[in-house]
Structure 1
Amino acid sequence: MLLMPPHVRFQRSYLDAVDEFDGQHRDGDGEWGAHPDGRYPGVEFTRAELETAEGFQRFVDWRLADRLEDTPRPAAFVPCTYLWMVEGDEYVGSLSIRHRLTDFLLNYGGHIGYSVRPSRRLRGHAKAALAQAIPRAAELGIGRVLVTCDEDNDGSRRTIEANGGVYEDSREGKRRYWIETNA
């Protein structure tokens, strides 16, 4: 499993994975629907648009640009590096590295979020992706990353702990772990 920047060659596999999620939250993939504050024009993607080559290219370009400080983004959002878990030509899942913490991210979201498509879970993909993301966070100057998971998500808890996560506390149903990056 390789962790890499989004690429248009994964269009069909990405959309198949979205169908697998069937409306479930996809942490690590961000949102691609209309943003509730309504002040973020040009970033709403419909499923129909993502089915087109041009629409998917625009989506990938937007994902790649979000890592830059000066990229326009909704209020309270921070620069974010989006990465995709892939095997061959198959999209397996997503991981995001948020470059800094807001109050919300400090309490609930953390620096790193990830999701694996349902048909590829329980195969070690999240564990491998998190291991590959930690040095990338260090390259961004993040000395230690906060990673969170739901209290009842034993798989994610094991993934975080296997990557050196040290439990700090739980807040409103979210377990909070810190991982040193050696930045």
Structure 2
Amino acid sequence: MPELVRPDVRLHSAWLDAHAEWGPGAHEDGFGLRPTDDVDSPAGFAAWVARLSAPSTTTHSCTYRWIVQDGRVLGGIALRQGDDEYVRWAGHIGYGIRPSARRRGHATWALARTLDEARSLGLTRLLAVCAPDNPGSVRTLEHCGGIFERVDDTGSGPVRRYWFDL
């Protein structure tokens, strides 16, 4: 059974395996990875994990969790609080599952638990977005109760917008 865990430097090697599966770049949703983050070196990885765990210095706070099973990083999920421009663009929830772990229910499982966490924090309405050509995320969001609002052109491509009323 997978677990949702806080980012941890002890998972450096396992995280690098997942990252390699996605290929180069900072595109893994749910991990808070920036193009300037050095995740290859132990010191850089530790600095990145510390940033993910630190109190937010932006207008929204974010809780990151990694989806881990048997020491293997399967994906990540982020819960953003607030209503700044980034949240309106990316949503309150973002997640990604490594390619070899997809189509096994991990995203649905992690999203359901993250929605429970949002409820416990007193959040009442959350936005999630996904690419229109991502049927796996469409199914995940709808299975967990997301209500489709519309397709928006964000400037970096169209997204499907879903709302969760908690």
TM-score bracket, shorter-length normalisation = 0.7 to 0.9
Q: Deviations over 1:77-118 (max 9, x none)?
A: 621111100112111101001111223432x31100000011
Distance 1:47 1:61, change over 3 A: closer
Q: Deviations over 1:23-77 (max 9, x none)?
A: 362111122332xxxxxxxxxx32442xx2x433332222111xx2xx435xxx6
Aligned-residue identity in percent = 37
Structure 2 equivalent of residue 176 of structure 1: 161
Q: Could you list the runs of 5+ residues in structure 2 that have no partner in the other structure?
A: none
Structure 2 equivalent of residue 140 of structure 1: 121
The two structures have a TM-score, normalised by structure 1, of 0.80
Q: The residue matched to 1:56 in structure 2 has which SS?
A: helix
Structure 2 equivalent of residue 78 of structure 1: 60
Q: Which amino acid aligns with 1:86?
A: V
Structure 2 equivalent of residue 29 of structure 1: 31
Alignment pair present for 1:150 and 2:131: yes
Structure 2 equivalent of residue 42 of structure 1: none
The two structures have a TM-score, normalised by structure 2, of 0.88
Structure with the largest fraction of strand? 2
Query: Contact 1:101–1:110 at 8 Å: present in 2 too?
Result: no
Separation of aligned partners in 1, 2:34 and 2:129: 22
- Displacement, 1:151? 0.8
Query: Contact 2:90–2:128 at 8 Å: present in 1 too?
Result: yes
Separation of aligned partners in 1, 2:17 and 2:57: 29
Q: How does 1:90-169 map to 2 (within 5 A)?
A: 90-106=72-88, 108-169=89-150
Separation of aligned partners in 1, 2:80 and 2:30: 10
Task: Give the aligned CA root-mean-square deviation in angstroms.
Answer: 1.7
Q: The residue matched to 1:15 in structure 2 has which SS?
A: helix
Q: Which amino acid aligns with 1:19?
A: A
